[in-house]
Amino acid sequence: MNSYVGKKYHVVTYGCQMNVHESEKIRGILHSLGMEEIDNPETADVVVFNTCCIREGAEDRAYNNVMALKKVKEKNPSKVIVVCGCMPQQKNGKYDLKKRLPFVDIIIGTHNINALAQYLIELSKTKERVYDIIEKPIATMDPDYCIRDDKTNAYVNIIYGCNKFCTYCIVPYVRGREMSRTPEEIYKEVKDLVQNHGYKYITLLGQNVNSYGKDLKEKTSFSELLKNLCKIEGDFKIKFMTSHPMDFGDDLIKVMKEEHKVAKALHLPVQSGSSRILQRMNRHYDIKHYMSIIKKIKRAVPNIALSTDIIVGFPGETEKDFNQTMKLIKKVKYDQVFAFMYSKRTGTPAATFEDQVDEDIKNIRVNKLLRLQKIIQKEQLKKFIKKRFDCLIKHINGVAVGVTDGGREIYIPNYKYNNENYFTKVKVEDIRNHKLSGVIDE
């Protein structure tokens, strides 16, 4: 028996869905040691911070929250604190974690989280602090460990790492090169989640899902993978993120159109509306190409829910470049826009570009963009009227609600439900206080 049996743990997660899913695996590892989860990091025996370094703000938040436990650790030296994920993996990051967090017991990166149980056992025997950052994965994390929080949507990794090297981005440096899981492994996991655990949405994860399969011995493609997964029997749908516009082919558009089980939602980060900036970002596409995908997908899948990521204030971004981004969001009419101010990441090419944009200008631009998107989103609501959507039926505060693939809620006030968590068609009838309402329309 190990010394952790019966002890309590708490996991704090920062960053993307990938990290959220990795934390589900971390929870599984801690459970396998006989531990139980609790909500309070102050009273937990083991606290794990699964960190992110995509922008400076994410790092500051994680660092400050780890620091907040310093006093508790001083009072209770047997408490174990672990810092893992992208922040420790980063070379020459803002914080020298080894030096600045001497009270943290275990600091590991992204490539050895799956060995967390061994590190914890080692620590309990030797009482010696562990600092171990390795350059390549020892093995990918075993999904069998996973303890998922969400009972409707399950994350499934299909590809790890990134080969794209966008000039602003730290991810390729902290997550390593692209590494696809085999189609068989993914199929088995999805089938189990749908047929044995009742999941309604499966979200396939990768920094760039469109690269899926290119690195495998038996080459395959993302659209092939999707087609195969759609053969699994059951009432479920598949989402995926993130897609890169460069590799987004017509084969994928065809699958999204033809396969009922592929959700009618697409997150397609554009990053900027200026082709000049896109080139400096090393994105490998221009606005003409991006807009041609948008046009094709809107034609193939009417009422698709579109979302995007945008970086404002990338080095060299002029008012003219920024206005092109504003123009783009007016034209596309996304359901959702995630806008970020450019944040310098040490070790990435853009951090050394000389024409950095002032913070206050970034701030003004991001707010302008978000204000515009808010107006567009409100106007967009009108387009829902009289349209039918395949929705997942849920009960929210005693009322039946249909949730679209894009996450929009349609209230169904007169519906006498006796069941939930199934897909059916809902027709939108009315908008009141920015809320949609409708009727079942099978």
User: Is residue 15 at the binding interface for ligand F3S, with CB under 6 A as the rule?
Assistant: yes
Nearer to ligand SAH, 122 or 309 (CB): 309
* CA–CA dist 79, 72 (Å, integer): 8
Of these, 171, 270, 401, 403, which contacts ligand F3S (CB under 6 A)?
171
| Residue at token pair 């894009």 | 406
CA 427 – CA 387 distance, rounded (Å): 6
Q: Which does 19 bind (CB under 5 to 8 A by kind): ligand SF4, ligand SAH, ligand F3S, none?
A: ligand F3S
DSSP label at residue 108:
E
Residue 280, binding choice from ligand F3S, ligand SAH, ligand SF4, none, Cβ under 5 to 8 Å by partner class: none
166 binds ligand SF4, rule: CB under 6 A: yes
Distances (CA, A) of 146 to 13, 115, 138: 15, 14, 18
SS3 283: coil
- Residues 56-95 binding ligand F3S (CB under 6 A) are 86
Minimum distance from residue 20 beta carbon to ligand F3S (Å): 9
Nearest 10 degrees: Cα torsion 175, 180, 186, 189? -30
3 backbone dihedrals φ, ψ, rounded to 5°: -80, 5
- The token pair that represents 205 in the structure block: 């994860």
Q: Phi, psi at residue 390, to the nearest 5°?
A: -80, 115
The amino acid present at 19, given as its one-letter code, is N
The reply on whether position 164 binds ligand SF4 by CB under 6 A is yes
Question: Applying CB under 6 A, which part among 48-56, 309-317, 393-401, 412-420 lies near ligand F3S?
Answer: 48-56
165 binds, among ligand SAH, ligand SF4, ligand F3S, none (CB under 5 to 8 A by kind): ligand SF4
Q: Does 18 bind ligand F3S (CB under 6 A)?
A: yes
CA distance 440 to 426: 5
- Eight-class DSSP state of 182: P
Task: Choose from ligand F3S, ligand SF4, ligand SAH, none: what does 7 bind? Cβ within 5-8 Å by kind.
Answer: none
In sequence order, the β-bridge partners of residue 39 are none
* Residue 229 within binding range of ligand F3S, rule CB under 6 A: no
- Among 27, 148, 175, 261, interactor with ligand F3S by CB under 6 A: 175
- The DSSP line for 27-78 is HHHHHHTT-EE-S-TTT-SEEEEEE--SSHHHHHHHHHHHHTTHHHHHH-TT
For residues 308 and 268, the answer to whether their CB atoms sit within 8 Å is yes
Single out the residue of 83, 141, 162, 306 in contact with ligand SF4 (rule: CB under 6 A): 162
Binding piece for ligand F3S, criterion CB under 6 A, among 52-60, 66-74, 255-263, 395-403: 52-60
Write down the least CB distance from residue 190 to ligand F3S, Å. Answer: 22
Residues that bind ligand SAH (CB under 6 A): 54-55, 168-169, 171, 207-208, 242, 244, 269, 271, 309, 311, 340, 342-343, 345
Residues that bind ligand SF4 (CB under 6 A): 162, 164-166, 169, 171-172, 207-208, 244
